[in-house]
Amino acid sequence: MQLGKREKRFVQVAGFALAVFCLFQFGVFPVLANRKRLQQQISAKETSLREMVRLSKEYGVLKRQSRVAEDAIRKRPPGFTLFSFLEQAAGKAGVKRHIKYMKPSSSKGENGRKETMVEMKLDRISLNRLMDYIYRIELAKEAVQIKRCAVTENKGKKGALDVVLQVVTLESP
């Protein structure tokens, strides 16, 4: 079967079109799709890397804070107890007469250390005295923290507050 010039031209154009189609379908499009997928993966990995760097910095800060707290716990005077510390701080802040109760307790905290807690209630205390007391607790070099502080207005005395504090510390091993 002999093809005329026109048919030959048509077959050549069709063959060329088929070759271009195959080139794009099996060559260019997969490469572009793969490139897009790789760019998305790179973007995701960059985000993960930024998060890892942020977490690494945060870990470093926490580790330094932990060392500072460990040093503070080790440097406590011998025989340190949270209960007596809070009583002394209350005396210095002038709130000892406002103490209604102090309930000590202890438990095994995170990482196996003993955590000591004292829950205390202060009745009819002024805001200034409360702030002075909290200041003495939080900024003490003995590594003591206020875990919870519930403040309500005293019903009997105007301008006075009733406060329940939970103060915690870790014991040295």
Place of tokens 């507050």: 161
- Tell me the per-residue pLDDT of 128-139, one tens digit each, with 9 for 90 and over: 999 999 999 999
At 40 the pLDDT is: 94
For residue 100, give both structure tokens: 């209604």
Domain C-terminal end among 45, 75, 105 = 75
Q: What is the mean pLDDT of residues 92-108?
A: 92
- Out of 9-23, 25-39, 102-116, 148-162, pick the least confident: 102-116
Per the structure, the complete domain to which residue 117 belongs is given by 82-170
- Which range of 11-15, 47-51, 67-71 scores highest in mean pLDDT? It is 47-51
Domain C-terminal end among 18, 40, 75 = 75
Question: Does one domain contain both 30 and 58?
Answer: yes
* Residues 6 or more apart whose Cβ sits within 8 Å of residue 134: 146, 149, 165
Segment (H or E) for 106: strand 99-108
Residue 152 has pLDDT above 70, yes or no: yes
Q: Do residues 90 and 82 make contact, with C-beta atoms less than 8 angstroms apart?
A: no
- Tell me the per-residue pLDDT of 157-168, one tens digit each, with 9 for 90 and over: 888 999 999 999
